[in-house]
Amino acid sequence: MSKIDTRLNVSPVPPDEIFALNGAYAVDPHPQKVSLGVGVYRTDDGKPWPLPVVQKAEKELVVDDDLFRHEYTAIEGDVPFLGIARDLMFGFEGKQGEEEVKARIGTVQTVAGTGANHLGALFLAHHMKPPTVWLSNPSWANHQTIWELAGVPRKTYPYYHAATRSFDFEGMMSSLESEAQEGDVVLLHACAHNPTGLDPNKEQWVAIADLCERKKLFPFFDSAYQGFASGSVEEDAWAVRYFFNNKPDMEMCVAQSFSKNFGLYGQRVGAFHYCTNRASTSLRDVVVNNLCHLIRGEFSMGPRVGCSIVKKVLTSEELTADWHQDLQVMSSRIKTMRKALYSELVRLQTPGTWEHIIEQNGMFSYTGLTPKQVYALKDKYHIYLLKSGRASISGLSQKNVTYVAQAIDDVIRNEN
């Protein structure tokens, strides 16, 4: 075999666990296979669910027959969409003095939430040069990759208390209090923490905001589930809005995704918001200008079709009302499946405690299953979930929840 002549210095990197797991599930011929890996909404029949309101919007867009629908937008994105995304995130609804407050926020369109996280990390790495970014332990695996590629040193703060399967608020606060330095970035999940499904309560969010302000840390919110987690866009944006409204002298940013709450997974709709402090609103346009510089060198501008759907829905009172109803449908089914799995495990008297399944929030549950148990579920029962024990509750249904609970019961009992 001849030697390869190349100047490249490359080594294999591990495959992405979620996509590799989904690929293995796709080729598994077993009739009772269950996918609890990938974070996408599924109906009780296990099928994708194009939101009814999205289908209505698509039909209206066809009728509109806009001649410019395939044209370039601005580098910062579809300009009307930017205001719509900002107002959804921060809750401007004719409030007194809203224009003055809006002047703090610079918004650009991104390639979904991943692109918003990446753009934000790149921008801060270039222009703020944070000594460290603090990620929750555990966090969405892609957070590590994004900040690694941005070249920012990464540390983690405690988040999950394994013994009680609960949010480790004391550990988080203690770690940030003693180790975080001025100028560090703290990445926070706005709601439905991925992968644990555990969120701070409002009192705890207030304490986290106070700590960030006092230690001069930079909050970076990742908002991937607004409206999807609780069914309420207001409730799921509470933390972001509290930080913004109650800490006006603190800068912050938000990565916003429309993948989950509009079911637009493949359309890649997102936005990045940089919030100046109230004394520095003159910097907003300069911030946007620099974000546009990064965008132009990377993807030129955000995709048009998906943001046109969001814009069509959120500029119509009727369609917006329909969208809120669709959010209720999705969030309610997730909650129903949590209760069903919990009830089955209790009925089977499965060893361990399972209250955490119904106490957690959003699409994912950190089940507490060990890697060995996860592998046993896959090998013996063709049930696919991440080795961390994170399960996508959306993959459960009335047809398979008993099967899944019995499988969990079996692998736990056999291990013991």
pLDDT at 271 > cutoff 60: yes
* 140 within some domain: yes
CA distance 252 to 278: 12
Domain count across the chain: 2
Catalytic residue check, 222: yes
Instruction: Let me know whether 131 and 220 are in one domain.
Output: yes
Give 348-403 as a DSSP string.
Answer: TT-SS--HHHHHS-SSEEE----HHHHHHHHHHH-EE--TT-EEEGGG--TTTHHH
- Domain boundary residue among 315, 332, 359? 315
Same-domain check for residues 36 and 91? no
Residues 304 and 396 in one domain: no
Same domain, 329 and 198: no
Boundaries of domain holding 372: 17-49+319-411
**Closest CA relative to residue 111, chosen from 122, 99, 100, 103:** 122
- Residue 384: give its domain's CATH number: 3.90.1150.10
Question: From start to end of 31-87, where are the E strands?
Answer: 34-35
Average pLDDT estimate for 83-106: 86
Q: pLDDT tens digits, residue range 50-88?
A: 999 999 999 999 999 999 999 999 999 999 999 999 999
What 3-state DSSP class applies to 133? strand
- Cα–Cα distance measured from residue 203 to residue 206, given in angstroms and rounded to the nearest whole number: 5
Q: Is the residue at 353 inside a domain?
A: yes
Last residue of a domain, one of 270, 293, 315: 315
Residue 344 lies inside a defined structural domain of this protein: yes
**CATH assignment at residue 207:** 3.40.640.10
Query: In this structure, are residues 89 and 237 in contact, taking their beta carbons and an 8 Å threshold?
Result: yes
49, 78, 134, 140: which one is catalytic?
Answer: 140
Clarify whether residues 401 and 332 are in a common domain.
yes
For residue 352, being part of any structural domain is answered with yes
Residue of 9, 114, 75, 137 whose CA lies nearest to 288: 75
Q: What is the pLDDT of residues 288-333, one digit of tens each?
A: 999 999 999 999 999 999 999 999 999 999 999 999 999 999 999 9
Checking DSSP bridges between strand 105-111 and strand 269-275, what pairing results, if any?
Answer: antiparallel
Query: Annotated catalytic, 134?
Result: no
Same structural domain, 255 and 215: yes
- Other C-beta atoms lying within 10 Å of the C-beta of residue 174: 13
Residue 92 lies in a domain: yes
12 within some domain: no
1-48 pLDDT tens trace: 456 677 888 888 888 888 888 889 899 899 999 999 888 899 999 899
Of 315, 342, 364, the last residue of a domain is 315
Task: Give Rg (Cα) of the chain.
Answer: 22
- pLDDT above 90 for 242: yes
Please give the pLDDT value at position 75.
95
Please tell me the distance from the alpha carbon of residue 297 to that of residue 126, in angstroms, as a whole number.
14
Distance from first CA to last CA of the chain, Å, rounded? 50
Tens digit of each residue's pLDDT (9 = 90 or more) over 193-208? 999 999 999 999 999 9
Verify whether residue 140 is a known catalytic residue: yes
User: Do 128 and 221 lie in a common domain?
Assistant: yes
Tell me, what DSSP letter sits at residue 216?
T
Which of 260, 311, 312, 378 is labelled catalytic? Answer: 260
330 located within any domain? yes
Contact 140, 117 (CB under 8 A): no
Distance of CA 26 to the CA centre of its chain: 24
Per-residue model confidence (pLDDT) at position 147: 97
Catalytic residue among 222, 322, 326, 409: 222
